[in-house]
Amino acid sequence: MIGKLKGVVDSLHEDHVILDVQGVGYVVSCSARTLQKLPRAGEAAVLAIETQVREDAIRLFGFLSDSERDWFRILQNVQGVGAKVALAILSILPPHELISTIALQDKASVARAPGVGPKLAARIVSELKDKASAFGEVDAGAIALAGGDSAPAGSSAAREAISALINLGYPRPQAATAIAASLKVLGDTAETAALIRRGLKELATI
């Protein structure tokens, strides 16, 4: 089994890269996000590899980090999620965002991936919630603000601030996390406008 490939980018394609490793060109399927971050043709690259062996083919999937590969495997434990759908999800949600999205039970963000309908998105966030906590810490305040718990003090202004950030184009998990962090700095009595300003500063560091 191949676990890692180190070589030179031969060519980049819509859903895969051909990686030249000592004269052998490996066809490696990748998420759109990974393909965007790979260097240009002729430059060196290293990919963590997941090998899938089937009766009619051997397929290689490439990732820029072990964490991305881990989530590729984890996502496929959910019924209805194959390699194509897992890559589609990782194309719009890198591992750190996927952790927050699942922990916050944000079905809408997962459903943005091609091939993921509302029912499958709900199944993914429900079945993988425990996995998210194992792979990274998510602010309890962010979970509460996202609706996963009872609302904390000052949540009216906080929820208004979250809505404002979402209207500006930020995904709900990031908006809830930013406002939860802002509440820790400004206090539960902070007004909506102040939370929005502080939340934007927090988002700039994510």
Same domain assignment for residues 42 and 96: no
Same domain assignment for residues 184 and 145: yes
Using the 3D structure, point to which of 63, 84, 109 is the last residue of a domain. 63
Domain CATH code at residue 131: 1.10.150.20
Using the 3D structure, point to which of 115, 135, 155 is the last residue of a domain. 135
Same domain assignment for residues 73 and 128: yes
Same domain assignment for residues 40 and 59: yes
pLDDT in tens, 8-22: 999 999 999 999 999
Q: State pTM to two decimals.
A: 0.71
Give me the pLDDT at residue 154, please: 46
DSSP 58-112: EEEEEESSHHHHHHHHHHTTSTT--HHHHHHHHHHS-HHHHHHHHHTT-HHHHTT
Pairing state between β 24-29 and 58-63:
parallel
* Residue 18 phi, psi dihedral angles, 5° rounding: -100, 115
CA angle, corner 99, sides to 35 and 199, nearest 5? 95
User: What tokens appear for 66 in the block?
Assistant: 């072990």
Determine contact, residues 19/45, Cβ cutoff 8 Å.
yes
Same domain assignment for residues 153 and 100: no
Same domain assignment for residues 112 and 166: no
Give me the pLDDT at residue 151, please: 43
Using the 3D structure, point to which of 116, 135, 154 is the last residue of a domain. 135
In the chain, how many H helices and how many E strands?
11, 5
Between CA 28 and CA 15 the distance in angstroms is 9
Same domain assignment for residues 13 and 50: yes
> What's the whole-number mean pLDDT along residues 138-146?
55
Query: Coil, strand or helix: which one is 34?
Result: helix
Same domain assignment for residues 79 and 118: yes
Domain CATH code at residue 41: 2.40.50.140
* Residue 58 phi, psi dihedral angles, 5° rounding: -120, 120
pLDDT in tens, 149-162: 444 444 688 889 98
Is the pLDDT higher at 79 or at 57?
A: 79
Banded model confidence at residue 148, pLDDT cuts 50, 70, 90: very low
Same domain assignment for residues 8 and 53: yes
Give me the pLDDT at residue 185, please: 87
- Number of domains the chain is built from: 3
Same domain assignment for residues 126 and 78: yes
Range of the domain at 118: 67-135
Answer whether residue 26 shows pLDDT above 90: yes
**CA 199 vs CA 95, 138, 179, 184, 204: distances in Å:** 22, 16, 5, 11, 9
Mean pLDDT of the chain: 86
Determine contact, residues 115/84, Cβ cutoff 8 Å.
yes
Is the pLDDT higher at 35 or at 180?
A: 35
Answer whether residue 142 shows pLDDT above 60: no
